[in-house]
Structure formats: C-alpha cells, structure tokens
Amino acid sequence: MSIARRTMTKKAALVPARHVIWFGWKLVIILSVSLCVFALCRLHFKSDVSSSASSFYRPRSRISRRSFQFAGPPKIAFLFLVRKDLPLDFLWGSFFENADVENFLIFIHSAPGFEFDKTTTRSHFFYGRQLKNSIQVVWGESSMIEAERLLLSAALEDPANQRFVLLSDSCVPLYNFSYIYSYLMASPRSFVDSFVDTKEERYNQKMSPIIRKQKWRKGSQWITLVRSHAKVIVDDEVIFPVFQKHCKRAIPPDASKGKLNAKQKEQNNCIPDEHYVQTLLSMAELEGELERRTLTYTVWNQSATKMESKGWHPITFAYANAGRQNIREIKDINHVYYESEYRTEWCRTNSTSVSCFLFARKFSRGAAVRLLSEGVVGPFDASALLATSN
C-alpha cells in the first residue's frame, strides 16, 4: 500500500510537473511572440516616421525644447542678420512702437563684439538683442547659414515664439505690425521660396548620396518659418556639414588670372544661403507644408551681366522710387511665376488670397524715411524722422 501509494504520489506528482514545464514553455513562447510583435510594431512605426525623410536624412531632436507650454499670446521672432548696425532702425523702431510688446521678440546676429545700445542704435527695441555667440560671417559662404541657425536656435528657446522671420539690414516692412502679425499667424505653413534649379549647375556631385540631385532646390534666403521647421533646421547635423564641404562660392573672375580660370571652371559656384533651407526641407519631405514663395520683395537688375557680377544684383530703392505708387505696385502683386517648374504660385495665407509681399529690400535710408512719412508702418511719427537727422 505504502509502495503503491508512493508510486501513486510519484505519478500524481509527475503529472503536474509536466504541466508546469509545459506552462513554462508556453509562457516563454507567448512572451517571445509578443516581444517580436512589439519589435515589429516599433520598426514599422520608426520606418513610418523616417520614411518621411530620405534614407540618408533623418530629422533628429537634439534638445527637447518646451514647445507646447507658454503663457500669453504667440510671438513672432524677428531675426535680423546684419553686417554691423541696423541702418533702418528708425523705421523698424516705429513699426515696433505700433505693436504690442507681448507679440514679438527681436534677435540680431551682427559681427562678434558689436553691441546694440544707445550709442549704436536709435531704437531701444534693439538694445541688448545681439546674440552673444555670434560668428564672423562671410557673405555668400556657409558661415551665413550658420548665423541663421544661431538666430533660429536662440529664438527657439522661448516656446512663445511661433513664427520666425529672417530679415537683412536693408529690409523694410510694407505694412503695420498688426497686419503682418495676422497674416503670419493665420498661416500654418512656412513661407519658403523654393524651386527646382535647372539653369545653373550649382549642385556638386560630391554631395551625393547624402544629398541627391532630385532634392536640390534653390530660392531666396529670406524665409519665414513655423516652429516645427525652425527646429528641423537647428537640429540638422547631416546636411549642414555637406554644405560646408561642397557648397562653395567660386573665386570671382576679377580675382583670378590665367591658370586659375581652369580651376574656376571645375568649381561649382554654389551660394549656400540660396539652397540650404530649401534643400533641407525638400529632403525632409516637408515641401507640402510650405507656401513656396518668399514674403520679401526684391527687384533684380537684369542689366548687370554675369561677367561683372556672379549673377544679378538687387536694385536698391532710393527716396525717388519709394513713393506711394511704387509701394502700391508691390502690394498689388498677388502671384509669382516659377519658370523652371511652369508653376504659378497664387499668394495665400491659410487659403485666403492675399498680396504676396510683407517686406521688401534693398531700401536706402532715404527710401525708408519716405515709407515712414507716408505712414506705411503706422501713424506718421515725426520724432523718429527727427532722430535720423542727428
């Protein structure tokens, strides 16, 4: 009995033991299957995200910026990229005088060491707004796009900044602040002049395969961005180094003699600031989120030949051609034609038809004085005019 019992118990004990082992295996199998499914899901999700970028380019967030929480109204960040001072500060001063200080912030990238204070600018809005980490910029070289990135990076620190407007020292506003604010805030898209560059051979084969030729774009440097696109540019660690290395200005013809001409022919005359943002956003598959036009009006002097300049030069507006009628004509423009793409860009903000341009360049001081006296940026402010005659 005791033997039988023992075998019984042994048998009885064996059965649950087998069950336990089987259950263990089942658990292991279930666990591994679910791990596989989870991993597959993650892979799929990841490829979903990165398939929106080219295989070589993945936008990455280096710094997690607080982008969702901010008190008060959304702001426009005005980013001035200047050589030294702001010659048209009296006009911009009047422009900002007619704005609510809660609605904007100013950032300036000027030569390292240059300070904006009461000895260097007529408008208090610019005091202390120079970036502390500014760099020496060589016009037409990649230091220019580095400076743009520094401006965007500084402006991104404040989560209230929702639109980012890049301006030069010869840019003027064509409207008052409230008009520009509503126009920009209404648009969920960035304004980036961007088109397929078929005429000029600025693309350098050495950029391949990181930058493929199909993604190469050209356009005006003067852009207005929404926050997510500003982040893409600041976080880019892939495309910028390629530009630094392979997008360079050719030596100007007058500086080269004899032998240099052959070398010059091999060089692509590449102007980084006319390609970088456009090409980066095209590579990140973000062109669908753009109004593909600039907000800054420029007239090109077509009579300047290729020999004497490396292309056309913008015409400078002087007092004489900055009158009411001239400005009216710019404001009446409601579409832009892109020859290389046979594309007509009808100007819109959030699907509403609008005039194309909010800003213009290049304006002399005299031309800016005229805008001010005609009340373009707000009620005519004689004190701002008086300040200019100092």
Ligand X SMILES: *[C@@H]1O[C@H](CO)[C@@H](O)[C@H](O)[C@H]1NC(C)=O
Window contacting ligand X (CB under 6 A); options: 170-178, 209-217, 249-257, 277-285 = 170-178
User: Among candidates 190, 181, 193, which has minimal Cα distance to 226?
Assistant: 190
Q: Which of 114, 127, 179, 319 binds ligand X (CB under 6 A)?
A: 179
CA dihedral 358, 314, 193, 221 (to 10 degrees): -100
Least Å from the CB of residue 253 to ligand X: 14
Stretch that binds ligand X, among 35-43, 105-113, 129-137, 301-309 (CB under 6 A): 301-309
Q: Candidates 159-167, 174-182, 244-252, 272-280 — which segment interacts with ligand X by CB under 6 A? A: 174-182
Expressed in angstroms, the distance from the first to the final Cα of the chain is 121
Q: Is 353 in the site for ligand X (CB under 6 A)?
A: no
- Contact assessment for residue 219 and residue 293, using Cβ atoms and an 8 Å cutoff: no
Residue 304 or 330: the one with the smaller Cβ distance to ligand X is 304
Q: Is 328 in the site for ligand X (CB under 6 A)?
A: no
Contact 173, 106 (CB under 8 A): no
Query: Among residues 117 and 308, whose Cβ is nearest to ligand X?
Result: 308
178 lies in the site for ligand X, by CB under 6 A: yes
> Which CB atom, from 160 or from 210, has the smaller least distance to ligand X?
160
Phi/psi for 31 (5° steps) reads -60, -45
Nearest to 187 by CA among 159, 162, 167: 162
Do 238 and 299 form a contact (C-beta atoms < 8 A)?
Answer: no
Tell whether residue 175 is a contact of ligand X (CB under 6 A). Answer: yes
What span, in angstroms and rounded, lies between the C-alpha atoms of 135 and 113? 9
Q: Does 378 bind ligand X (CB under 6 A)?
A: yes
Q: What is the closest distance, in whole angstroms, from the C-beta atom of residue 308 to ligand X in the complex?
A: 6
Judge whether 157 and 302 are in contact, CB under 8 Å: no
Least distance CB 174 / ligand X (angstroms): 9
Are the CB atoms for 350 and 188 separated by under 8 Å? yes
Part of the chain binding ligand X (CB under 6 A), chosen from 99-107, 176-184, 198-206, 218-226: 176-184
In whole angstroms, what is the distance from residue 202 CA to residue 210 CA? 16
How far apart (Å, rounded) are the C-alpha atoms in residues 361 and 283? 29
Number of residues that bind ligand X (CB under 6 A): 13
Taking the least distance from each CB to ligand X, the nearer of 119 and 303 is 303
Choose between 176 and 208: whose C-beta lies nearer to ligand X: 176
Of 303, 344, 383, 389, the one binding ligand X (CB under 6 A) is: 303
Q: How large is the angle between the packed helices 276-283 and 142-156, nearest 10 degrees?
A: 60
Give the binding site for ligand X (CB under 6 A). 175-176, 178-179, 186, 301, 303-304, 308, 315, 350-351, 378
